[in-house]
């Protein structure tokens, strides 16, 4: 039996559908998804099996023009994921087409190590007419000679099997790198923090989701088989704390409930979730916050 295993980096602009595709490939929610840009902050590894091949999907933060330290660290993590992978898949949103952001990514692809294999996946094909897809594919392939082009809908699942089968045939021969039943390579405490951040991002508006971070402080296994999870939400301003808590604590209560339900489903057992909001004006400049997120603080140096 010949086994294969390889790392597949999913890169693209923010909101391109990288995390949605990761989850679909894995068959479980390992990476958080929202309709807002810059949801994913670090590299998230999801593991999928296809025949004798183990596909390790590396979901990355969206590529955009960074302004803050956090942005720079995120973009560096994304390009780092591409540089380390066996195969890179660039996701482009069909309905947005060849944006200036996509142009910059195409330029970046030319700087990847020589011989790096790159495929194109035009996503959200459920949102456009078929004729537009061909034109977009041609335009993009004129700039970068992609090894292969796929038309997919990560959300609906169209075209995803073709992509998975192609990847399974193309990753290098070699032993599997994870146990067959493992679906993610991310500490549980981080997955739990991400779930809470997803609920915060869905619920809070404007800049606030970009000005906060969530960390799991304590994780206690209780004798009755349930887990007690304590998390801290760091916000940058006093005013933000009030917004996160909401009138009579209603906002935080709703967020906590949604996160707890999802955690309970993910873990398959009851969870008690305790959230605390702390004001930490400088958290975006603290090295420890970055390591907790799975990012390299130094990557944020300008």
Instruction: Give the one residue of 9, 17, 26, 40 binding Mg ion; rule: CB under 5 A.
Output: 40
Instruction: Give the one residue of 9, 11, 15, 57 binding ligand GTP; rule: CB under 6 A.
Output: 15
Under 8 Å between Cβ of 166 and 119: yes
Q: Near Mg ion by CB under 5 A, which window of 40-48, 84-92, 106-114, 170-178?
A: 40-48
Q: Residue 236 Cβ, how far from ligand GTP at the closest point, in Å?
A: 20
Count, residues near ligand GTP per rule CB under 6 A: 25
At a CB cut-off of 8 Å and minimum separation 6, what does 6 contact?
Answer: 53, 54, 55, 56, 85, 86, 87, 167, 170, 171, 172, 174
- Region class of 15: left (phi > 0), else alpha (psi between -120 and 50), else beta: left
Told to check if 22 binds Mg ion by CB under 5 A, we report no
Q: Residue 96 Cβ, how far from ligand GTP at the closest point, in Å?
A: 11
Told to check if 19 binds Mg ion by CB under 5 A, we report yes
Under 8 Å between Cβ of 214 and 193: yes
Closer to ligand GTP by Cβ: residue 38 or 226:
38
Instruction: Give the one residue of 17, 46, 81, 300 binding ligand GTP; rule: CB under 6 A.
Output: 17
Beta bridge partners of 92: 122
**Which phi and psi angles does 31 have, rounded to 5°?**
-130, 135
Task: Please choose which of Mg ion, ligand GTP, none residue 15 contacts, taking the beta carbon within 5 to 8 angstroms, the exact cut-off set by kind.
Answer: ligand GTP
Task: Fill in the per-residue mask, 119 to 148: x = in contact with ligand GTP (CB under 6 A), - = not in contact.
Answer: ----xx-xx---------------------
Told to check if 123 binds Mg ion by CB under 5 A, we report no
- Cα dihedral 232, 238, 244, 249 in deg (nearest 10): 100
Nearest-angstrom CA–CA distance, 17 and 33:
8
Told to check if 60 binds Mg ion by CB under 5 A, we report no
Told to check if 39 binds Mg ion by CB under 5 A, we report yes
Nearest-angstrom CA–CA distance, 144 and 152:
19
Nearest-angstrom CA–CA distance, 256 and 68:
28
Q: Near ligand GTP by CB under 6 A, which window of 12-20, 178-186, 188-196, 260-268?
A: 12-20
Q: Measuring CA to CA, which residue among 182, 191, 234, 243 is closest to residue 213?
A: 234
Told to check if 20 binds ligand GTP by CB under 6 A, we report yes
Told to check if 153 binds ligand GTP by CB under 6 A, we report yes
Told to check if 23 binds Mg ion by CB under 5 A, we report no
| Torsion sign across C-alpha atoms 209, 212, 213, 216 | negative
Q: Under the rule (CB under 6 A), what is the footprint of ligand GTP?
A: 12, 14-20, 33-35, 37-40, 61-62, 123-124, 126-127, 153-156
| Site residues for Mg ion per CB under 5 A | 18-19, 39-40
């Amino acid at each position: 039996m010949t086994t294969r295993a390889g790392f597949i980096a999913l890169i693209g602009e923010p909101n391109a559908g990288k995390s949605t595709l990761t989850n679909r490939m894995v068959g479980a929610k390992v990476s958080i998804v929202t309709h807002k840009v810059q949801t994913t902050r670090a590299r998230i590894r999801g593991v999928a099996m296809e025949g004798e091949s183990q596909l390790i999907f590396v979901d990355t933060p969206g590529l955009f023009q960074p302004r803050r330290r956090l942005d720079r660290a995120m973009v560096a993590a994304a390009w780092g994921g591409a540089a380390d992978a066996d195969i890179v898949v660039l996701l482009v949103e069909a309905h947005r087409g060849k944006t200036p952001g996509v142009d910059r990514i195409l330029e970046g692809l030319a700087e990847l190590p020589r011989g790096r294999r790159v495929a194109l996946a035009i996503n959200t094909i459920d949102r456009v007419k078929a004729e537009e897809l061909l034109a977009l594919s041609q335009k993009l392939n004129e700039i970068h000679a992609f090894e292969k082009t796929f038309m997919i809908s990560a959300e609906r699942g169209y075209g995803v099997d073709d992509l998975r089968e192609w990847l399974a045939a193309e990753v290098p021969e070699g032993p599997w790198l994870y146990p067959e039943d493992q679906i993610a390579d991310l500490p549980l405490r981080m997955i739990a923090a991400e779930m809470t951040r997803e609920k915060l991002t869905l619920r809070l508006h404007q800049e606030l989701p970009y000005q906060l971070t969530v960390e799991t402080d304590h994780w206690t296994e209780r004798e009755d088989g349930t887990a007690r999870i304590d998390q801290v939400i760091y916000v940058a301003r006093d005013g933000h704390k009030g917004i996160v808590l909401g009138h009579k604590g209603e906002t935080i209560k709703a967020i906590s409930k949604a996160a707890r339900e999802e955690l309970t489903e993910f873990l398959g057992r009851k969870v008690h979730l305790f959230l605390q909001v702390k004001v930490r004006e400088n958290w975006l400049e603290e090295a420890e916050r970055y390591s907790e997120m799975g990012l390299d603080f130094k990557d944020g140096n300008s």
